[in-house]
Structures are given as C-alpha cells and as structure tokens.
Amino acid sequence: MSAGKPATPLCEQFGFDASWREAQLTLIGLDDSMREYVHLLQDKVLTRDAASSIVDRFFTQLALNPQASGILSSFDLRHLKERQVEYFKRFGVGFQGADYFESRARVGVAHARVGVPLSLYLESFGMLQCLILEQVMSLTGEQQHWEPLMRLVLKLTTLDIALATEVYHRSQIQDMDRSLKHLELEQKSLRKQLDQDALTGVSSRTSLLRELQDSIERASKTGQPLVVIMADLDHFKVINDRQGHLVGDRVLKEVAARIRAALREFDLVGRYGGEEFVILLEDTSTHTALQIAERIRARISSEPIHVAAQDMLVTISQGLALCGEGDDCQSILGRADQAMYRAKQAGRNCVVEQQ
C-alpha cells in the first residue's frame, strides 16, 4: 500500500455489505425495538466504573490460564484494559451501522494477527458474556428490566462472537494465502535460478540435461529426428588470460545472445560448462541442423564483439550428432563432443557432423 493511501475497510475486504449485515441482524433478532435497551444497558449496566470492574475481573480470570497469561505477558496490560473499557463503551451503540460491524471486525483481525488460539478466543468471549450478565443481575430496583437486558446482551455478544470469529477465520486464511503465494514466488525464483545460467541467461547445465532427456524420450516415441550441437568458443582461454575474466564473461554473454538470435523460437540452448554451449534441435533433420549451425557460426564470427574499448573477433567450433536408437544423454553428448573436436582439428570456426 502506498504512503498516505487509506486502508480498505475490513467490511469491504470481507464482503460484509449492507445486505449481509442485515441478514446477520435478522438472524440474531436485533432490530429497532432493541435501541431503548441499548441506552439502558449503557446508562445502568456498563457505566465507566462498572465496565472497569468487569475488565479487571476479566483479565484476572484470564491470567489463571497459562496460555492466556503467556500471550498477555507480551503486552502492556494497562493499555489492553483501557481498550477493553472502550469496547464496552461502544457495546451495542449503533449496532445496525457499518461502523459498528467495522469496529467488531477489527477485534477479530487483531486477535488473529497476535495468534490467539481460536478456542481461547471463543472462551474469552463467553467469559465476557457471563460477566456482563452478572452485572445486569446486580442492578437493584430494576428487576423488570433484567430479562430484556439479558436478551439484548446475549444477542449483542452473539453478533460479536459471530462477526469476530468470521473475520478471525478469514484473516488467518488470507495470511495463509499470502504465505503460500510468497512460497510459490520463492520456488519460482529458485527454479529460475536452477533453470537459467546466471551469467549468460541461457539454460543451466541442470536444466539442459533434463530437457535433453525429455527430448530423447519424445524422439524415441515419435520417431522425429533430434540433433544435438556441441559448440565451443575458439581460443577462449587466451581471452581470459590476456583480458581477464570480466572481459571473458562479457564475451560469453554476447556469444550466448548471438546463438539465441540464430535459433528458432522452439530451439533450446544451454551452457554446458565454461565456454561450451549445447543446442537442442527437435524435429530437425541433419541438413537443417547444419544450416542452423552455420548461421550460428556466421553470426558470431562476422562481427567483432566490442568490449573493454576494443573489438575482438571471436569464432566458434561446432559438432553435430543425430540421436539414434538406444541413445541416452551421455552417448549423444559424447558423439557431439567428438565431432566438435574434429572441428577444432579442422582449423576451428567450422561445423562438423558426426561420422
């Protein structure tokens, strides 16, 4: 959320619109006839002193529970009591309005964020309910109001429990969803790191070998040709020794980019190791593969690579191997590697097909 932007109301976040709120009030039996008793509840039962007394008793009883006591130890008890007194000050006031639902929803979110167990949460609500009812029954000379006030208290606490529990539940689900999305993003990031060579941006060796195995299996099932090209930069050690590894890295990045530019959209190139690249050409004849390899060779050698204020002519030697029956990753890569070494022996900057 950007700075200064107001938070989205919880009722809006959770879909507690006017029709939803009305349905809850109707179910519980809270209507306009209860308004006069809300005023009576505030004036006679939940006075400032009475509310403070209820709150003191509430927290004293909570402290007897080890789990509750452990949670409370992390907070300023005086501040918590003040907030609880404010809770009673607004108890039932304007129960039909969106603001009332919003204030009760915040209670559920706050408890979910703190990590209060749901069982303890509901028991605490029940305890508050009992304390308020006891306060109603302590009224002297007001026995005629006991029954409607007690019904009101039960309805209001039922609404509070239902609303706060609903929000508590949804808030925890939202937190779990966010955690899952965060984990998914982390997994995607890790997968990308595993699948992509950090320097050149082409497929990593791990990803390349996995894709090669899949390609071999597909070729075996479909009968479509699969060609593997082993490509190795010529005299790359000289570049590293004379110009340094930083220059060598920039050369590798540019070579990888030129290889990708020479390939078709569905072809795959990966960094096999050092200055070696492997290209997978599925559903491709050796004739077409030779044309693609030649295009790669031309793109790399026809134009110097500008790096470190100088132009460097770079060439590449390539060996082609056609996947045959019984081939696996090791065997086909081995034949492509042998063909590439024959290209080196033939003077480099050329393409050699397996014998």
Q: What is the 3-state secondary structure (H, E, C) of the chain?
A: CCCCCCCCCHHHHHCCCHHHHHHHHHHHCCCHHHHHHHHHHHHHHCCHHHHHHHHHHHHHHHCCCHHHHHHHCCCCHHHHHHHHHHHHHCCCCCCCCHHHHHHHHHHHHHHHHHCCCHHHHHHHHHHHHHHHHHHHHCCCCCHHHHHHHHHHHHHHHHHHHHHHHHHHHHHHHHHHHHHHHHHHHHHHHHHHHHHECCCCCCECHHHHHHHHHHHHHHHHHHCCCEEEEEEEECCHHHHHHHHCHHHHHHHHHHHHHHHHHHCCCCCEEEEEECCEEEEEEECCCHHHHHHHHHHHHHHHHCCCEEECCEEECCCEEEEEEECCCCCCHHHHHHHHHHHHHHHHHCCCCCEEECC
Is the pLDDT at 120 greater than 60? The verdict is: yes
Share of the chain above pLDDT 90, in %: 66
Q: Kindly state the average pLDDT of the residues 285-300.
A: 97
Assigned CATH topology for domain 205-353: Alpha-Beta Plaits (3.30.70)
What residue ranges of the chain are covered by domains with CATH 3.30.70.270? 205-353
- The pTM for the full model equals 0.53
Share of the chain above pLDDT 70, in %: 97
Assigned CATH topology for domain 10-187: Globin-like (1.10.490)
- Residue 294 designated active-site: no
What residue ranges of the chain are covered by domains with CATH 1.10.490.10? 10-187
User: Which position among 134, 217, 275, 294 bears the catalytic label?
Assistant: 275
